[in-house]
Amino acid sequence: MAIVEMTKVCLLGPSADRDAAVRAVADAGVLHVLERRPAPELPTELKAQRERVERMLAALPPGDEDGPWPGAEAAAGELRRVERLVAACDEARATLERLEREHARARPWGGVEPEALERLGEAGVTVAVFEGRRSQLPADILAGFDWASVVPRPGGRVQLWVVTRGEVTLPLDRMEPPVRSLGVLRDDVRRARRVLAECLSERDEAVAVRPVLVGYRRWLDDELALATTAEGLGEGQPIFVLEGYCPTEGLERLRALRAERSLVLTTRSPAPDEAVPIALRNGPLVRTFEPLVAAFKLPRHDEIDPTPLVAPFMGVFFALCLGDLGYGILLTALAAGVLLRARLSGLRTRPSGSVRLLLQWALLLGVVSIAVGALLGNLFGVRIHELLGLSPSALLFSLVEDPSRLLMVSLGLGLVQLHLGMGLRLWLDLRRRRYQAALGSLAWLMVVPTLVPWVMGWWPGWSFGLVCVALLGFAVPVPNPWRRLGGGAWALYDIVSLLGNVASYMRLFGLGLSSGIIAMVVNTIAAVLMGGPVGTVAAVLVLVVGHAFNFAMALIGAMVHPARLQLLEFFNTFFAGGGRAYAPLRRTCQGE
Amino acid sequence: MEEIFAQTMAHLGLAGLGLGLAGSAIGLAIAGSAACGMRPEARNSGLAVSVLPGTQGLYSFAVGYLCLQPLEEGRYATVFACGLLTGLACLFSGWWQGRVCASGIQSINAERMTTAQAMLLAVFPEFYAILSLAFSALMLFG
């Protein structure tokens, strides 16, 4: 449906012009270059430079990543400056840690000066401090020395100070004597802290360079891609050959390149079994759902793009799971608010591409949730018809008065979506002229329309029997009759899975009902608490916290479960996927 | 006396739905613990799988709500059956789905499986919780 048509392209030219031609192709930005096996090695110097940039970006505090590009040479200079700053910080931190360790070792000695200990040692007097548990001290420990004292320490530990002639050995931890006095060390630690704080502040100021480093990383990525593409092309040959795929509408750019550079350009349509890269093209609303499909699998070039089919169902399923008009309004307001704020405040707070897409998606889903929430009759757990003075029947289905309608709607939507998928598979089989497979697909399409009337007694069973025979014969249309029959028998068993897939859509009912009811329960608790100033504050707190919690939980469920219904139940009916994304060789960073 | 016994049984059935809520809690804890050990770059893929066992608790909650009307109408046996059926199914479904999700998350982390494959495997234990919800809804609406 919306898969961009690709053309297989082959560019040939003299090897002497290889690097310039590759750069020109990157400037054209339309050619998806075929990977070569084995993949060429990345140029070591560029790779090392990129790793340096990555390390410095990780070392700098987070900040703005958009900014003007000063050029590769200036950016390399900035990289060296940031590296010097970060190295200074690392050195200051290491010094501080060493001094703090030394300070911790000297602390038990208190004000004892190292010089005094040295003089006593020269006179043959040993001063030692031991530490250990009280239970480790022998009973007569104090008697064996000229002077000894036990100082209790927290946690059942003790410190033993000993002054005696000769050497002392005890089964306790002996504290290392200080090399410098505690006062000197304290001053050194204070100084080292100051130096580190200055270094860190200087490094933090360098966050302004972050956009330059991000640009440099992009530039290095471009250079790496160009070098990798050029590497090995026509090595040792008089000509080089560059193969790939180009959107048919973008061929003009390559033709212009051919004229400019005296290259030879050959084109042809891809064969059906070729692994053609996939680019999707959809309108602005549907485009927001493309990442969902891409997260699962991209279509192959002989399939259809499922995104336009996923978009409406995903919107409605999400809204049914959210189950509340108020939550829809809240989601819309949040997404619109963030997008509007980003637009008004300009470049500085503009969200990145993926975040912006997510916000647009949230905005779209929020708008659908408002529409569906109004039909469900819930506004932050309050029944809308009571507010408006209408009877419940005025709403399409009221969660509270008639939850069975939501169940029916969920199952009905499931039936519609699954049959749409099976219908598409039939259409694809016919388009590929696989008529036997089309008969099997038709049989699948007719399973529920014949089974249900038969079970309900509205229609005789022969029609369903016919469908079963068709499944047996054509569900797996292979030449080997035993494999065909085996596959057919499995397909008959698989009818249970089809019914299971329909039942799986009941999760929409379960999720929608529970989020709606939890919202009502929050309101009920708040109503019970209401009364007096304290009660009113408590009720407001319950309302805010309760609805925020329910909104967050419903949001997660409404995202994951409908996505699952699309990717598993729906896609299983017609979609195999497995295409690779179209990634043209192009420069992301403009300028040298 | 019979009325009191029937009411007691109905409330016991409703209490049985607590098993379903516990099933989700256990399943989420198992899957969430697995997600905690993921590589940072793979964590987003694991998060979608780790929340899957949350639905069994919601199904139990929904059935509990649907039971309120039949309870008022005096359909005690139906309430007992639905509560016990859904509670037990959701307990074991949520619990074991959590284990499947945890294994799936480990495989995603080791790049041996995609998110979709892990989700696909997690679908099967949940299917029986959905069947219990469907059957209970049929009994309660019937």
Task: Please write the tens of the pLDDT for every residue from A24-38.
Answer: 888 888 889 887 666
Residue with token string 């048919």: A248
Torsion of CA B17, B19, B20, B23, to 10 degrees: 170
Say yes or no to pLDDT of A54 above 70: yes
User: Who contacts B44 (Cβ-Cβ below 8 Å, separation ≥6)?
Assistant: none
Contact (Cβ atoms closer than 8 angstroms) between residue B55 and residue A514: no
Q: How many CB pairs under 8 A join A and B?
A: 69
Q: Which residue has the higher pLDDT, A2 or A196?
A: A196
Beta carbons of A517 and B65 less than 8 Å apart: yes
| Tens-place pLDDT, residues A460-475 | 889 999 999 999 999 8
Give the closest-approach CA distance of A462 to chain B in angstroms. 28
The pLDDT tens digits of the residues spanning A350-360 come to 666 677 888 88
Both A446 and A402 in one domain: the answer is: yes
pLDDT of residue A230: 75
| A297 touching chain B per CB within 8 A | yes
Residue A402 scores a pLDDT above 90:
no
Q: Do both A242 and A355 map to the same domain? A: no
Q: What is the pLDDT of residue A221?
A: 86
Gap from B127 CA to chain A (nearest CA, Å): 7
Is residue A399, in this structure, part of any structural domain at all? yes
Parallel/antiparallel/unpaired status of strands A239-247 and A6-14 = antiparallel
The C-alpha atoms of residue A107 and residue A185 are separated, in whole angstroms, by 10
Among positive and negative, which fits the CA dihedral A185, A191, A196, A199?
Answer: negative
User: Between the CA of residue A118 and those of A124, A126, A169, A175, what are the distances in Å?
Assistant: 10, 9, 19, 16
A242, A289: one domain: no
Pair A429, A437: CB distance under 8 Å: yes
Alpha helix ranges (H) inside A181-306? 182-205, 210-230, 251-261, 284-287, 290-296
Amino acid at B133: L
Q: Which domain holds residue A154?
A: 113-177
Q: What residue in B sits closest to A561 (Cα-Cα)? A: B52
Residues A422 and A332 in one domain: yes
What are the tokens at A488? 């057919």
Span of A118-132, A254-268, A334-348, A563-577 with lowest mean pLDDT: A334-348
Judge: A561–B141 Cβ closer than 8 Å, yes or no: no
Mutate to test the interface with B, among A410, A508, A520, A568 (most CBs of B within 10 A): A568
pLDDT of A592 over the 60 cut:
no
Same structural domain for residues A257 and A121?
no
Give pLDDT, residue A143. 73
CA distance B54 to chain A (A): 8
pLDDT for A543 equals 93
Please check whether residue A230 is in contact with residue A219, taking contact to mean a CB–CB distance below 8 angstroms.
Answer: no
Task: Please indicate if any CB of chain B lies within 8 Å of the CB of A557.
Answer: yes
Find the range with the poorest average confidence among A50-59, A105-114, A297-306, A309-318.
Answer: A105-114
Domain-terminating residue out of A277, A309, A338: A277
pLDDT at A348 over 60: no
Query: Which one is predicted more confidently, A46 or A94?
Result: A94
Same domain, A250 and A329: no
Report the percent of chain A where pLDDT is more than 90.
28
Cβ contacts of B115 on chain A, cutoff 8 Å: 295-296
Q: What angle do CA A82, A86, A88 make, to 5 degrees?
A: 115
Residue A374: its pLDDT value, please? 84
Q: Is A10 a domain residue?
A: yes
How far from the centroid of its chain's Cα atoms is residue A491's Cα? 37
Q: Which residues of A touch B127 (CB under 8 A)?
A: 500, 503-504
State how far the alpha carbon of A317 is from the alpha carbons of A225, A308, A412, B90, in Å: 42, 15, 12, 23
A156 and A259: one domain? no
Per-residue exposure over A61-100, b if at least 16 CB sit within 10 Å of its own CB, e if not: eeeeeebebeebeebbebbeebeebbebbeebeebbeebe
- At residue A38, the pLDDT reads 61
What CATH number does the domain containing A20 carry? Answer: 3.30.70.260
Q: What angle do CA B107, B108, B112 make, to 5 degrees?
A: 55
User: Inter-chain contact B137–A563, Cβ cutoff 8 Å?
Assistant: no
The end-to-end CA distance of chain A, in Å, is 40
Rounded Cα distance between A516 and A381, Å, is 6
Q: Final residue of a domain: which of A277, A300, A335? A: A277
> Does residue A392 have a cis bond before it (omega within 30 degrees)?
no
* pLDDT confidence tier of residue A382, bands split at 50, 70 and 90: confident
pLDDT, position A33 = 86
Structure tokens at A282: 């959809």
What are the helix (H) ranges across A432-531?
A: 435-456, 462-474, 481-504, 506-529
- The region of weakest confidence among A188-192, A356-360, B87-91 is A356-360
**Nearest CA to CA, how far is B73 from chain A (Å)?**
15
Distance from the Cα of B131 to chain A's closest Cα (Å) equals 7
Q: What is the C-alpha to C-alpha distance for residues A410 and A414, in angstroms, rounded to an integer? A: 6
Pair A324, A272 in one domain: no
Q: Which residues in B lie closer than 8 A to residue A564 (C-beta atoms)?
A: 52, 119, 123
pLDDT at residue A37 in the model: 62
Contact by Cβ (8 Å): A492, A472: yes
A324 part of a folded domain = yes
How many Å apart are CA A567 and CA A71, to the nearest integer? Answer: 44
Q: Which long-range contacts (CB under 8 A, 24 or more apart) does A50-59 make?
A: A50/A217, A50/A220, A50/A221, A50/A224, A52/A79, A52/A83, A53/A79, A53/A213, A53/A216, A53/A217, A53/A220, A54/A217, A56/A82, A56/A83, A56/A86, A56/A213, A57/A210, A57/A213, A57/A214, A57/A217, A59/A86, A59/A203
Tell me which chain A residues have a C-beta less than 8 angstroms from the C-beta of B66.
403, 513
Question: Is-contact A558 A318, C-beta < 8 A?
Answer: yes
For chain B, how many structural domains are there in total?
Answer: 1
The reply to whether A151 falls in a domain is yes
> What pLDDT shows up at residue B94?
95
Largest CA distance in chain B: 63
The mean per-residue pLDDT over the stretch A355-375 comes to 88
Q: How long, in residues, is chain B?
A: 142
User: Does residue A394 surpass a pLDDT of 60?
Assistant: no
Asked if the ipTM is above 0.85, the reply is no
How far is the C-alpha of B58 from the C-alpha of A407, rounded, in Å?
14
Residues A244 and A349 reside in one and the same domain? no
Q: Is residue A457 part of a domain?
A: yes
User: What is the number of structural domains in chain A?
Assistant: 3
| The predicted structure's pLDDT at residue A352 | 66
Contacts of A115 (CB under 8 A, 6+ apart): none
* Amino acid at the residue A423: G
For residue A65, tell me if it sits in a domain.
Answer: no
Mean per-residue pLDDT for A418-434?
92
Span B115-138, pLDDT tens digits: 878 887 887 888 888 888 888 888
Q: Are both A167 and A268 inside the same structural domain? A: no
Among B21, B44, B65, pick the best mutation site for testing chain A contact (most A Cβ within 10 A). B65
Q: Between chains, do A568 and B51 touch, taking CB under 8 Å as contact?
A: no
Does A425 contact chain B (CB < 8 Å)?
no
How many Cα atoms within 13 Å fall on the side-chain side of residue B134?
Answer: 19
Determine the pLDDT at residue A67: 78
Q: What is the mean pLDDT of residues A250-271?
A: 85
Whether chain B has a CB inside 8 Å of the CB on A365: the answer is no
Chain A contact set for B90 (CB, 8 A)? none
Same domain, yes or no: A259 and A301:
no
CA nearest neighbour of A421 among A299, A290, A309, A526:
A309
Q: Are residues A30 and A137 in the same domain?
A: no
Greater model confidence, A154 or B8: B8
Q: Kind and range of the H or E element at A575?
A: none
Report the C-alpha gap between A545 and A329 in whole angstroms.
17
Q: Among B48, B46, B49, B22, which residue's Cα sits nearest to residue B36?
A: B46
**What pLDDT sits at residue A449?**
92
Q: Mean pLDDT lowest for which of A147-151, A195-199, A384-388, A508-512?
A: A384-388
What's the pLDDT score for residue A236?
67
Question: In the structure, what pLDDT confidence band is assigned to residue A435 with cuts at 50, 70 and 90?
Answer: very high
Report how far residue A160's alpha carbon sits from residue A175's, in angstroms, rounded to the nearest whole number: 10
Residue-level length of chain A: 592
Chain B within 8 Å of A507 (Cβ-Cβ)? Answer: yes
On whether residue A102 sits in a domain, the answer given is: no
Q: Indicate which CATH number applies to the domain containing B123.
A: 1.20.120.610
Check CB contact under 8 Å for B55 and A557: yes
Distances (CA, A) of A308 to A91, A219, A295, A336, A564: 57, 36, 16, 23, 17
Rounded Cα distance between A582 and A245, Å, is 8
Closest by CA position to A257, among listed A32, A34, A27: A27
> pLDDT tens digits, residue range A107-161?
878 878 888 888 888 888 888 888 888 887 777 777 777 888 888 888 888 888 8
Q: Which of A12-26, A457-471, A511-525 has the highest mean pLDDT?
A: A457-471
Nearest CA to A519 out of A558, A550, A561, A488 is that of: A550
Domain that holds residue B92: 2-141
> Identity (one letter) of the amino acid at A131?
E
In Å, how far is A503's CA from the nearest CA of chain B?
Answer: 7
Distance between CA atoms of A421 and A569, rounded to whole angstroms?
Answer: 9
What's the pLDDT at A150?
85
SS3 A98: helix
Q: CB-CB: which of A404, A500, A564 is closest to B119?
A: A564
**Cβ of residue A518 closer than 8 Å to a chain B Cβ:** yes
Examine the pLDDT at A270 and tell me if it is beyond 80. yes
Q: State the number of CA atoms in the 13 A half-sphere of A352 facing the CB.
A: 4
Does the beta carbon of A517 lie under 8 angstroms from any beta carbon of chain B? yes
Least confident of A135-139, A377-381, A494-498: A135-139
Angle, CA A319 vertex, CA A318 and CA A323 arms, to 5°: 120
Q: How far is B65 from chain A (nearest CA, A)?
A: 8
